[in-house]
Structure formats: C-alpha cells, structure tokens
Amino acid sequence: MTTAAKTKRLERMDDLVSLCARRGFVFPSSEIYGGINGFWDYGPLGAELKQNLKALWWQRVVRERPDVEGIDSAIIAHPRTWEASGHVEHFSDPMVDCRACKKRFRADQLEGVEPCSAREGTSEHDFTDPRNFNLMLQTQIGASEEAASVAYLRAETCQPIFNDFKRVREAARQKIPFGIAQIGKAFRNEINPRNFTFRSREFEQAELEFFCHPSEREKWFEHWQGERLAFHRELGFGDDRLRTRPHAEDELAHYARAAVDVEYLFPFGWQEIEGVHDRGDWDLSRHGEYSGKDLGITDPETKEHYVPMVIETSVGVDRTCLALLVDAYTEEELEGGETRLVMRFPRGLAPIQVAVTPLSKKLAEPAHALEAELRRRFNVFYDDAGNIGRRYRRQDEAGTPFCVTIDFDSAEDGRATVRERDSMAQERLPLEGIAAYLSEQLEAPA
C-alpha cells in the first residue's frame, strides 16, 4: 500500500483557483466572453458540493427542529420592503475613485490595492473624497419603460421572511419562540469583488430568523451561536481555523444590536463566513410601520402584546463552500517521490461518493450492474479510461471517498476491491454487501 510521507495544506489561493477551473468545481461566469467580475459558475463537482452543504444546513436547521419552518420566497420583494429595512438609506460602502486611472475602490480597503498605472512619475492613486455607494442592485418591473417601477434584487434573503412572518406563523400554527429559515440568492453591487468567490456580486445565503420574547433574547443569542459553531465543526473545520469574533459597537450593521462573526482562517487571513445577529425588534417594527399591519403578538396566556425580538443566523453558502475547498485541499508527497493532490472533503459532503472503476473495459457488464445498483443511493462516477492508478488520482482530486474496482477475479469470488481516499487502504468485499458498507461509511463522521 502507498502511504503519504509528507502532507501540505493550501498556501496559495491560485493553486485552488486553477484546480477548481480544471476539475469544474467553480470558474468565472461567462468565461468565453472574458468573465464578468464578481459572478461565478459552479460546474458538476461544485454544484454537488454546494447542494450537499445546503441539504445539511436544511437538515440541521429546519428538519430536525420542530420550532423552525422553511420557506422559499421570491427574489424580488415589494420595493417598500427595502425602504422599511433601512437598505435604501443605509446599505452602502464608502468608495473612492482614482482621477487618473479611473479605477474605483472601497475607501476602507485601500491597503494592498494595485498601483495606479496612469500617472507619470508615481504609482500612487489620485483619490477623490470618499462617497457612499449603495450596494443594492436595481431592476425595473413593468411592460413599458415609462410605466416601469424600480425594484431591487434582494440584498439579503431574510427580508421576505419578515414580510411573511404573520402568514407563516399562522399557517404553521407556531408559537413564540420559533424560527423561519430559507436558502437563496442574494445580490450586492460590491465595489471590489475579490478573493475568488469570497466577495461576489451574486451569492447564496442560508438564513434563519428566530423570533422570541424580549426577555429571552440573550438566551437565544447564546443558543444559536453554539448551534452554528457546532455546524461548522461538523464540516470538519478545526479549532486552529475556526473562531468567533464579537463586533465592536462601531462595526454593527444598521439593524444589529449585537453581532458575532464566525470566522475561518483562509490563506488570505481570518474572514467572516457567518454572522449571528441580535436584530432586536428592528425589522418587525419597521415593516409594521411601513405596511400599516400589526406584526406584534398577543401572548395567549398573559395577553401581553409585544413585537418579538429576532435572533438571526446568516451563513454564506459560497463562502462556506470556499472554506470547504480550502480545508480539503491537501498535497501529499508519497513514498517513492510521487505527489498526489487529494480533496479531503467530509465524506457526506463529497460531490461524488463512489467511483466504479473496472480494471478493464471487458468487465463493463458486471461493472455497469454495480454502478446501477449504487446510483440508487449515491452520486456515482463510472471511469474505465486509463490505468487504475491514474483513475484513483482523478478521484482523489475530486474528493471521492471510495473507488470500487471490479477485476477478473470478481466473477469467480463475487468480490470487488474498495479503496478509501485518505488512507488509500484497499479491501476486498463481497459485491452484494458493498452498497450497505458504503452507506455505513458515508454516514459515519469523517
């Protein structure tokens, strides 16, 4: 058996970016036109990884909790929504323009920006004074241009949750405390998209808004911090790469009374992947005011009428996918000098769970029969091209936890070789037990 003598984790983002393009995890959107800044497409492996991550979040946050309901709202909400939420007024970043090269930058992120290429005798930019730039993307609704009205692509997925609060609570017969969750696209016209998918203009969020009595807000704020940290640990992020950081008073978003970021250590430093926010009664009070509807609750026992407080957990799906990709990336120097690149995803999140790799094309019939059986339970890749060592390496790069090889003895002894990704250990197992074996292995924590 080959073993790894030395292992190295990801140091340069460029190595990951090129693997992601080559293997079809993530690559620039509209690549044939030169790409479009801040927009990314997920290929076959990336789409599966993202899907698995979202399914795990939905399982933990919605399905396992009797006190949380899931919804799937429209991306475009009534424009008054964004006035009530404060986004039209407050959702902006300070920006500066360089008068010489005409490039635009975030005024609070000028450290390390590329030098000015248009001035003579200096590479320093000639900046304008900072101005506020609203990050919401606008569109128009209506058949004719004159009659069309401005609408916004949602800047966060939670605002429709507040719009739907009364309807969902009544329909689901929920009582305070309870939460409403959804996963979906959000859009921000970021001034400087950067660090691969980390800061994009179109991205996905998975958000939970948990409504509670004012006397319980601190309890639930603590509770959800614990739950969310446990989730990120389940993704395999070790304590050396995961931390929480409370926001200072002057960092708080306009809606937040308190906030704690969950941060991951990327090659470009500690960065936020999730925010847990105490939003107080900001949203329900404002939507109540702007819509003229009473979004308060009357306690059935005490008859107290109050506006519930909101504890929010808001995780970036793309940022967490990026953290998964960074965390999984491992270069191993094998005995004998060969190196292998292996994506050590947690097994349950791997894009492909099992590859069927017959030793010869002549074994297509039994191999396809096994493939068909396994496809009923797993995402399967069938690969009969090239030598077996190379096929294993391709699956290592895709992060596939198991390869099953049918060989010329399989017809005789009814067994196949199952090879595990991280240890590269191989064992021969009876064909009829392989699906059950894989189910057990894939469900076990990695």
CA distances from 364 to 64, 357, 388, 401 (A): 42, 10, 15, 22
Nearest to 222 by CA among 254, 265, 258: 258
- Binding test (CB under 6 A) with ligand GAP, winner from 314, 395, 400, 417: 314
Cis amide prior to 366 (ω within 30 degrees): no
Query: Between 149 and 168, how does the x/- string for binding to ligand GAP read (CB under 6 A)?
Result: -------x-x----------
Q: Which residue is nearest to ligand GAP (CB)?
A: 316
Q: How far apart are CA 191 and CA 86, in angstroms?
A: 20
By the rule CB under 6 A, 327 interacts with ligand GAP: no
Q: How far apart are CA 398 and CA 352, in angstroms?
A: 7
By the rule CB under 6 A, 188 interacts with ligand GAP: yes
- Binding test (CB under 6 A) with ligand GAP, winner from 318, 371, 383, 384: 318
Q: How far apart are CA 160 and CA 314, in angstroms?
A: 14
CB of 48 to ligand GAP, least distance (A): 20
Q: How far apart are CA 280 and CA 31, in angstroms?
A: 43
By the rule CB under 6 A, 200 interacts with ligand GAP: yes
- Binding test (CB under 6 A) with ligand GAP, winner from 50, 125, 217, 319: 319
Q: How far apart are CA 360 and CA 387, in angstroms?
A: 9
Query: Between 293 and 312, how does the x/- string for binding to ligand GAP read (CB under 6 A)?
Result: -------------------x
Nearest to 309 by CA among 247, 172, 216: 216
Query: Between 243 and 282, how does the x/- string for binding to ligand GAP read (CB under 6 A)?
Result: -----------------------------xxxx-------
By the rule CB under 6 A, 316 interacts with ligand GAP: yes
By the rule CB under 6 A, 199 interacts with ligand GAP: yes
By the rule CB under 6 A, 288 interacts with ligand GAP: no
Residues with Cβ within 8 Å of 56's Cβ and at least 6 positions away in sequence, in order, are 231, 234, 348, 349
Residue with Cβ nearer ligand GAP (81 or 400) = 81
Q: How far apart are CA 104 and CA 402, in angstroms?
A: 47
**Residues binding ligand GAP: number (CB under 6 A):** 19
By the rule CB under 6 A, 286 interacts with ligand GAP: no
Residue with Cβ nearer ligand GAP (316 or 358) = 316
CB of 91 to ligand GAP, least distance (A): 9
CB-CB contact of 27 with 21 (8 Å): yes
Q: Is 296 exposed, middle or buried (0-12, 13-18, 19+ CB in 10 A)?
A: middle
- Binding test (CB under 6 A) with ligand GAP, winner from 52, 163, 182, 205: 205
CB-CB contact of 277 with 312 (8 Å): yes
Residue with Cβ nearer ligand GAP (260 or 370) = 260
Nearest to 220 by CA among 169, 257, 264, 182: 257
By the rule CB under 6 A, 125 interacts with ligand GAP: no
Residue with Cβ nearer ligand GAP (282 or 381) = 282
At residue 192's C-alpha, the angle toward residues 72 and 260, to 5°, is 55
Residue with Cβ nearer ligand GAP (322 or 370) = 322
CB of 324 to ligand GAP, least distance (A): 13
By the rule CB under 6 A, 228 interacts with ligand GAP: no
Residue with Cβ nearer ligand GAP (95 or 356) = 95
Residue with Cβ nearer ligand GAP (162 or 392) = 162
Q: How far apart are CA 165 and CA 93, in angstroms?
A: 29
CA distances from 89 to 112, 142, 290 (A): 30, 24, 14
Where on the chain is the footprint of ligand GAP (CB under 6 A)? 156, 158, 188, 190, 199-200, 203, 205, 207, 272-275, 312, 314-316, 318-319
